[in-house]
Structure formats: C-alpha cells, structure tokens
Amino acid sequence: MTRERAGKRSYTRTDRKRGRYIKARPAGSRPEDIAFDATLRAAAPFQQQRLADAENDLALQL
C-alpha cells in the first residue's frame, strides 16, 4: 500500500477491511463490505411508497 501524494485527499486502495472509506462505489459480483450509509440513502426515497402500499394491502396482518 503506497500513496502517490501526501495528505487526506490522495486515494489509497487496499484489501484490508479497516479505516473509513472515501466514497461509495457499486459492488462487484460478491459484495462483502457494503457502504451502509449509501444503502440507506438509496432506499430512503422509496419508503413513502412502501407505506402507501401497506395501507392499501388486503393481506391480514396477525
């Protein structure tokens, strides 16, 4: 693991699962370490629609 430049703004790619990530990116074929905050941000716009669908649902909830 080496950096091209010094400072926080230089990118370092590593296989270790430690530290904080710089930005979210699409997962490959087998996602092992998901970006939880990006996942929530992507799902948030659909929650109002899910609530509306649940109110009109005819299924019996026990």
What's the pLDDT score for residue 29? 77
Whole-model pTM over 0.75: no
Give the pLDDT band of residue 37 (cuts 50, 70, 90): confident
What's the pLDDT score for residue 6? 65
Between the alpha carbon of residue 26 and those of residues 11, 43, 55, the distances in Å are 17, 15, 33
Q: Which amino acid is at 9?
A: R
What's the pLDDT score for residue 42? 85
What's the pLDDT score for residue 10? 60
The span from the CA of 35 to the CA of 22, in Å, is 10
The span from the CA of 19 to the CA of 29, in Å, is 23
